[in-house]
């Protein structure tokens, strides 16, 4: 069966109508790969994005790379990482979860032998009526030492309203991808991967290192904290609503956010780490995520 037809059949969740056309028992049907990763820059952990006709770059120390080694599939045809910096659930013009899924499908990622499909999306999406994505707004808000990033930031249009980030909304935006994977990779363990601890929780201020020199404190950080908390909760609830697994990355990286004694998150524009993406996982954070996820899915 042609790849495009496979996607169209399930994109509308019309699975029952497509059963006769699937041909899952045919000799040329994809058998699937052991590990498939779909996600954004927190998965890819590399700066460079190429055109949609080319492959996205992936960091040598990213958690998917580390997980592939733990599963014994690194460098083999049984591993596919389709994650792309800037990818979103469904917010254009960047790569989306459905686009990555279709590219993975073309590569034969989904089939009866697929073991693990990991998904990490949501931070690069627009929520509610806000014009900016959550990640762009968070950075601008946190770095705004004049206006701050308090609870009034959403009302001023400087960031999405955290109340728009719900489990039901998240589930609706990724449901077609999950249903597609469930149908074509029925034995796979599908896991929604959460985001790491970026800021220390339980406080109103936000601290971040900058330029490799010192730490800055954003005293009005309630808006940023509420946004990351809401997204974490939405992912957990969405996973439950969709009947898939959830990996608690915040728990795996707890106590290692920005400005901690042992930060597992890159600071802002550190000249000692020119290739590191600001506010993204450093290698210890990716190691903790890969080890924890491996323990959960093996």
Ordered mean pLDDT values, 10 residues apiece, the chain (298 residues): 50 36 54 97 78 69 97 97 95 93 97 98 93 85 87 89 96 98 98 94 83 82 91 98 98 94 85 75 96 97
Would the pTM of this model clear 0.85, i.e. be above it?
yes
Q: Find the length of the chain.
A: 298
Contacts of 260 (CB under 8 A, 6+ apart): 200
pLDDT confidence of residue 297: 97
Based on its alpha-carbon atoms, the radius of gyration of the chain, rounded to whole angstroms, reads: 19
Helices (H), the chain: 3-11, 15-22, 41-44, 63-70, 97-106, 134-143, 167-184, 222-242, 249-252, 283-297
Do the bridges between strand 206-210 and strand 214-218 make them parallel or antiparallel, or are there none, so unpaired? antiparallel
Q: Which residue has the tokens 């927190």?
A: 42
In eight-state DSSP terms, residue 72 is T
The β-bridge partners of 39 are 120
Q: Which pLDDT belongs to residue 214?
A: 81
Peptide bond preceding 129: is omega within 30 degrees of 0, i.e. cis? no
The predicted structure's pLDDT at residue 121: 98
d(CA 266, CA 209): 8
């Amino acid at each position: 069966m042609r790849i495009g037809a496979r996607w169209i059949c399930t994109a509308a969740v019309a699975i029952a109508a497509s059963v006769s056309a699937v041909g899952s028992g045919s000799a040329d049907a994809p058998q699937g790969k052991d590990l498939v990763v779909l996600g954004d820059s927190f998965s890819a952990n590399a700066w460079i994005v190429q055109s949609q006709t080319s492959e996205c770059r992936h960091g040598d120390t990213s958690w998917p790379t580390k997980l592939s080694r733990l599963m014994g599939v690194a460098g083999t045809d049984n591993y596919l990482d389709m994650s792309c910096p800037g990818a979103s659930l469904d917010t254009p013009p960047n790569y989306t979860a459905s686009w990555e899924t279709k590219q993975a499908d073309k590569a034969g990622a989904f089939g009866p032998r697929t073991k693990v499909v990991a998904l990490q999306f949501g931070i690069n999406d627009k929520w509610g009526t806000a014009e900016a994505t959550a990640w762009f707004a968070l950075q601008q808000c946190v770095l705004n030492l004049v206006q701050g990033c308090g609870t009034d930031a959403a009302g001023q249009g400087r960031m999405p309203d955290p109340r728009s980030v719900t489990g039901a909304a998240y589930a609706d935006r990724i449901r077609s991808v999950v249903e597609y994977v469930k149908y074509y990779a029925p034995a796979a363990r599908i896991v929604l991967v959460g985001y790491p601890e970026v800021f220390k929780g339980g406080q109103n201020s936000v601290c971040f290192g900058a330029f490799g020199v010192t730490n800055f404190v954003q005293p009005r950080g309630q808006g940023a904290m509420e946004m990351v908390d809401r997204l974490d909760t939405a992912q957990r609830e969405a996973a439950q609503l969709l009947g898939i697994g959830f990996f608690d990355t915040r728990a795996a990286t707890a106590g290692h956010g920005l400005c901690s004694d042992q930060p597992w998150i890159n600071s802002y524009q550190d000249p000692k780490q020119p290739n590191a993406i600001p506010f993204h996982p450093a290698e210890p954070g990716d190691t903790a995520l890969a080890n924890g996820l491996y323990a959960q899915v093996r």
